[in-house]
Structure 1
């Protein structure tokens, strides 16, 4: 057990985070090394395991730790600051431009997702809720959203009239997430061109995002933006 000072019990997650960060800086936890598991740290610091989990997630979000399910938590070999894109309400984004927001639910079905979605969420070959929604600002398309939702994690969504409440809004208001992944790509509009009011060969920005509540998958969504759309990251 480390001889470094530990926070007095009971400690908040910030105190645990600061103590672990001090060990990273002092190389007590060396770059690339596994750190003790959550249960052992909880005993050492005299706190609940959930408190340790919250502290380690914060350090992972800041780029100092790398967490892998079933493989433990390691100190990042080359810590970097991460760029953050908050998950916004599409309605609020559209209304901030002065346009009138509206949306149309184009598809609602229960189906087995394609292999890439199932693999990304870790759900395996079981049925999820599949939703395709077109968000508009005035008469102009704002976002074409292709979303898969795990109703085991979000059972309340099954009872919602999604022609009256859009899924982006419901999930942001009702189901907090603990972590996620996000990727950007430029793609030809292809079959999405009609919905996005552009030519099939036009380049569009696609944001692919997956979120979890602890180990439980919530949603996988591809948001397709018309040509010329900009997004801002926070560092």
Structure 2
């Protein structure tokens, strides 16, 4: 169908494809959320004139990121502390034994109680959460920050050295799963595909 074209209603599409109207509604809403359709109450659903192009990001598994560079991944759990329902972790990620990033993370044990007994010395919290804690939304911010004393000590650089720092939170319907600050070693490059 051409851009701007009116597509059939939900009832007609459900009949044509032999499925429930609710299934059609979810599919149309997903296409609208991705910018392919424009939905207006009482005006119908049209193919977008100028579909939005959105970049989608996933939570990177640092082990896979390091291995994709042809290097050997390692990590070291520096601190583990529980205060109330929050599990706090500090982890040094390495590539060929050289600092790759320093992670400061909180996990809400109210929503992910299994994290309380997970052995993050074997599998990093980053990878464990990707495998065990599905989320439905979150936010990410990258910024340049001067290395703190903590960053500098573990990333083997001078204090105030410019670092690329990621802040990320992920949420389920129940609430926040995790909050993380990941300071990358000096010279880190983020490559995205669009």
Give the TM-score, by structure 2 length.
0.77
Determine which of 85, 93, 114 is the counterpart of 2:65.
93
Task: Provide structure 1 residue ranges, at least 5 long, that are not aligned to the other structure.
Answer: 31-63, 65-78, 112-125
Tell me which structure has the larger Cα radius of gyration: 2
1:195 aligns with 2:154: yes
Task: Provide structure 2 residue ranges, at least 5 long, that are not aligned to the other structure.
Answer: 1-7
For residue 102 of structure 1, what is the aligned residue in structure 2? 74
Give the TM-score, by structure 1 length.
0.64
For residue 106 of structure 2, what is the aligned residue in structure 1? 148
More strand by share: 2
3-state DSSP of counterpart to 1:91: helix
For residue 134 of structure 2, what is the aligned residue in structure 1? 176
Deviation at 1:27, TM superposition (A): 4.0
1:46-125 matches, cutoff 5 A? 81-111=53-83
Q: Structure 1 residues 135, 14: closer, same or farther in 2, change over 3 A?
A: farther
- Whether the 8 Å CA contact 2:142–2:167 is kept in 1: the answer is yes
Question: What RMSD over aligned residues (CA atoms) do the two structures have, in Å?
Answer: 2.7
For residue 173 of structure 2, what is the aligned residue in structure 1? 214
For residue 167 of structure 1, what is the aligned residue in structure 2? 125
- Whether the 8 Å CA contact 1:190–1:200 is kept in 2: the answer is yes
- Whether the 8 Å CA contact 1:85–1:234 is kept in 2: the answer is no
Number of residues of Structure 1 aligned to a counterpart in Structure 2: 170
More helix by share: 1
